[in-house]
Amino acid sequence: MPHHVKSQALSHLRICDFTGQLAGAGATKFMAAFGAEVIRIEDPTNHGRWDILRGMPPYVDDRRGPELGGPFNNHNVGKLGITLNIKTEKGRELFERLVGISDCVTENFSSGVLRSWGYDYDRLKELREDIIYVSNCGFGHSGPYEKFKTWGPIVQATSGLTMSSAIPDQPPAGWGYSYMDHTGAYFMAMAIMLAIHHRNRTGEGQYVDVAATEAALTLNGPVLLDYTVNARPLRREGYPDANHSLHPAMAPHNIYAAKPIPGSFDEAWIAIACRNDKDWHAMRDVLLADGCDWAANDDYGRLAGRMAAQVELDARIGEWCLSRDPFQSAELLREAGVPANAVQTPEQRIDQDVNSAESQLWPTIRQTEMGRVRVDGIPAKFTKTNWSMTRGAPVLGEDNDYVYGELLGLSESEIAGLYEEGVL
């Protein structure tokens, strides 16, 4: 240490980190990118595999194993890694010393796991008076579902996000991934930093209970107020309709099939949104220039007319969209002032969109076993303490010497002894 030049934004903070997967690991990944010293604790008895992502695909090559999981690397960039068997007496003693020199303890176990090891907030507070303890679990640490288990899709289902992602007359499409593992991690990062600011002001630590389902529930606000104020539920005939826009009302507003791009997938799609009458008039002129005389219909000139005729409008625009590849039509529309984009594939948005390179969104890091790999960066630039990512996720016990030696002051022979006893 230090392994590289770090951001100074959070370099004064140390996090004793039990988080895993994405819902927890994503939170401390963000803070590590800004220089926080995040010490990831892993169990040596099962090679850290309580985090199931450790060995999960994708892989960089034919090798497999707990050091080679692509998702684990992506979510744990820049963290330190130690092994520690917390079921042993010496392991507990070392953990307790580590808490004593940390600002925060973070975890996203199922409810009650850390408590079952003897470490609730009150115990952690005995180890360090101003400790901040942040837990993140699906339903939180109280209430009828406290013991229920979740992962991203279950969080999304129970909070309304899955249902609100659908088109009419179809079952829920939901989110095709764990949106709420990412976003739950964002709320966890906010909660950690809010608690640190509170401590900076008052000297007090605290316990924070993050429930990913509740964070998710706050992400459908206008729909919820339409229900609590106007008694209009989203579960009603013809809804939800996620590709249309009611809040605010816009039309046309949809995702349309486009002409596939040779050499790419056999499907291609374009998203188009007319925000107002001005956008429609601009789009109308593009359509008229292509011989779509129907676009001149005066009924479409005003929003109310377009909302009322949205289904037929979609069908006609859909025909027009099939005539070009989606990048060509999107550019044509944007030049006329109308919001439009291709539904980009991962390759298109990562390797072909100029914005990815401009914003240095996909840094290449070096992970000890995997070698050089690109990862998700941070979509923000700071003028004074910008983020950095150069080191990948830790391999098991990669930082034992630094943490136990330099931070806790153990000698080389003491550390060697701990390995022999199965503590590390």
Q: Smallest distance, Å, CB 22 to another protein?
A: 7
Give me the sheet containing 340-342, strands edge to edge: 253-258, 268-273, 340-342
Q: Where are the beta strands (DSSP E) in 46-150?
A: 80-83, 104-107, 132-137
Window 35-74: contact mask with another protein (x via CB under 8 A): ----------------------xxxx---------xx-xx
The one among 2, 62, 171, 298 contacting another protein by CB under 8 A: 171
189 counts as binding another protein under rule CB under 8 A: yes
**Of 170 and 413, which has the nearer Cβ to another protein?**
170
Please choose, out of 40-48, 264-272, 288-296, 409-417, the segment that lies near another protein by the rule CB under 8 A: 264-272
The label of the residue with tokens 């080389």 reads: 412
Q: How far apart are the first and last CA of the chain?
A: 20
Residue 28 · residue 2 · CB < 8 Å:
no
Window 216-245: contact mask with another protein (x via CB under 8 A): -xxxxxxxxxxxxxx-xxxx----x-xx-x
Residue 216 · residue 155 · CB < 8 Å:
yes
The one among 366, 374, 414, 416 contacting another protein by CB under 8 A: 374
Q: Which residues, numbered 319-358, are part of the site for another protein (CB under 8 A)?
A: 334, 337-347, 349-351, 353-356, 358
The one among 5, 170, 262, 293 contacting another protein by CB under 8 A: 170
Binding-site size for another protein (CB under 8 A) equals 158
Residue 251 · residue 303 · CB < 8 Å:
yes
251 counts as binding another protein under rule CB under 8 A: no
The one among 90, 125, 182, 316 contacting another protein by CB under 8 A: 182
372 counts as binding another protein under rule CB under 8 A: no
The label of the residue with tokens 């580590």 reads: 98
Q: What is the rounded CA–CA span in Å between residue 124 and residue 134?
A: 11
Q: Smallest distance, Å, CB 93 to another protein?
A: 28
**Of 172 and 405, which has the nearer Cβ to another protein?**
172
**Of 217 and 408, which has the nearer Cβ to another protein?**
217
Q: What separation in angstroms does the CA of 328 have from each of 174, 237, 268, 274, 334? A: 29, 36, 12, 18, 10
The label of the residue with tokens 């707990």 reads: 66
**Of 86 and 282, which has the nearer Cβ to another protein?**
282
Q: Where are the beta strands (DSSP E) in 172-238?
A: 206-211
